[in-house]
Amino acid sequence: MVRRFLLQCLLLSMPLVALVALVAVVDPYDLFGEHGPVPGALKKKNLYQSGRTMPFSYGCAINTKTGATSGVVFRDLAVTEDKPFQPDLTNVSVIDCEGAAVASLKNKHPRAGRIVLDGETRQLRPAADERIALEGRGALERAPGMNSSPFTYGCEVEPRSGRIVSIQTAL
């Protein structure tokens, strides 16, 4: 009878023991030393922010029929101290750049049905030799009736003259 009681106590305590073991392995508060899969520097970065807030964004995938959540993604929006990139766009035409990307795709795929550029993915960044790079994504219907294929495009522009220096597309 005592043996049965002790066995039941052991079985009931297993979830608590498993939880303590998991905390000891991950050890977010560094209670058990520097071991475990999470490096000490990352723990300190995530837990000790000197009272500052940490900006983040998140995305959530929801099944609209059942209302069930199938996934969540968190992104750290760390604020950088660097000066933001602010190019002189006086002579630069985004439409010319994107038009050159579309023309390049039409040359590579002459039977293309539809080419759609996603304006939400458009990004400007600094390029070599003080040029401006425009990058983005889109979808290409290689021939009428075919499924669309995603592609990326990139364009480098000389900001003083507005001349397109190079254009790249990749499926």
Q: What is the mean pLDDT of residues 61-83?
A: 72
> Would you call 161 helix, strand, or coil by DSSP?
coil
- For residues 26 and 62, give the distance between their C-alpha atoms in angstroms, rounded to a whole number: 29
> 137, 120 in Cβ contact below 8 A?
no
CA of 135: how far to CAs of 58, 69, 102, 123, in Å? 24, 32, 13, 5
- For residues 108 and 140, give the distance between their C-alpha atoms in angstroms, rounded to a whole number: 11
pLDDT at 29 over 80: no
Residues 6+ apart with CB under 8 A from 63: 69, 70
In the prediction, which pLDDT does 84 show? 72
Two tokens at 152? 């990326």
CA of 130: how far to CAs of 133, 153, 156, 157, 160, in Å? 10, 20, 10, 9, 10
Each residue of 78-122: pLDDT tens digit? 665 566 777 778 888 888 889 899 999 899 988 888 888 888 888
